[in-house]
Copies of this chain bind each other. A is one copy, B any other.
């Protein structure tokens, strides 16, 4: 009686260390109808990184041309390198009925939201700030100062998270993944995303 052939634009953010990458990878496993958006960047590829798979690697000239042509859904400059989300592959995949994950930071997510309010904006939270600190320290790669700095950034991001649609607490990856799948299934049933197959 009703159908919904269009994929969902899933924008997933969360503080550094919360484990959103792991959750996104778990979402993609055994899922035919969900894909992840590949970002564009001007930074040099690291060993083993493949163009079109890990990133689209572009020159700064090409990247700026894409900005000028409005070919990026959002973009930012970190540490002298540009990063952005190419628009065409995302829109194409949505049209084909695929859900597309954008794993991006808060500023980019809010830019996307202003243009695509029909997207599903999910913020991944740690069970507590204490646990986030543990996870950041557990990496063993960052100094105490860097961990503190990341925690302060996390607090600022969490304050912004009220502009998202859903909270998902990443206590275990299994639970967080299952929660996101629940959100996807519910969003697919939203009236404004469905069309009647019958004539009335």
| Binary flags per residue of A153-166, CB closer than 8 Å to B gives 1, else 0 | 00100110111111
Interface status of A194 (Cβ within 8 A of chain B): yes
Interface residues of A (CB under 8 A from B): 1-2, 123, 125-129, 155, 158-159, 161-169, 179, 182-183, 185-187, 189-191, 194, 196, 198, 200
CA distance A163 to B127 in the complex (A): 36
Shortest beta-carbon distance from A178 to chain B in Å: 9
Q: What residues of chain B lie closer than 8 Å to A155, measured between beta carbons?
A: 200
Give the dominant DSSP class at A's interface. mixed
* 19 more CB-based (< 8 A) A-B contacts, given A129-B198, A164-B191, A166-B189: A1-B125, A1-B127, A1-B129, A1-B169, A2-B125, A123-B191, A128-B198, A158-B200, A165-B190, A165-B191, A166-B190, A166-B191, A167-B189, A167-B191, A179-B189, A182-B186, A182-B189, A183-B189, A186-B187
Shortest beta-carbon distance from A6 to chain B in Å: 15
> Min CB distance, A30 to chain B, in Å?
18
Which residues of B have CB within 8 Å of A127? 1
CA distance A126 to B129 in the complex (A): 47
Tell me the smallest distance from the CB of A198 to a CB of chain B, in Å: 6
Cβ-defined partner of A189 (8 Å) among B161, B168, B190: B168
- A75 CB to nearest B CB, Å: 25
Q: For the complex formed, measure the closest distance between the CB of A111 and the CB atoms of chain B, giving whole angstroms.
A: 18
Interface hub of A127, A162, A179, A189 (most chain B Cβ within 10 A): A189
Residues of chain B within 8 A of A162, CB atoms compared: 191
Least CB separation from A120: chain B residue: B186
* A164: nearest chain-B partner, CB-CB: B191
Residues on B with C-beta less than 8 A from A169 are 1-2
A159 near B198 with CB under 8 A, answer no
Query: In the docked arrangement, what's the CA distance between A1 and B155, Å?
Result: 12
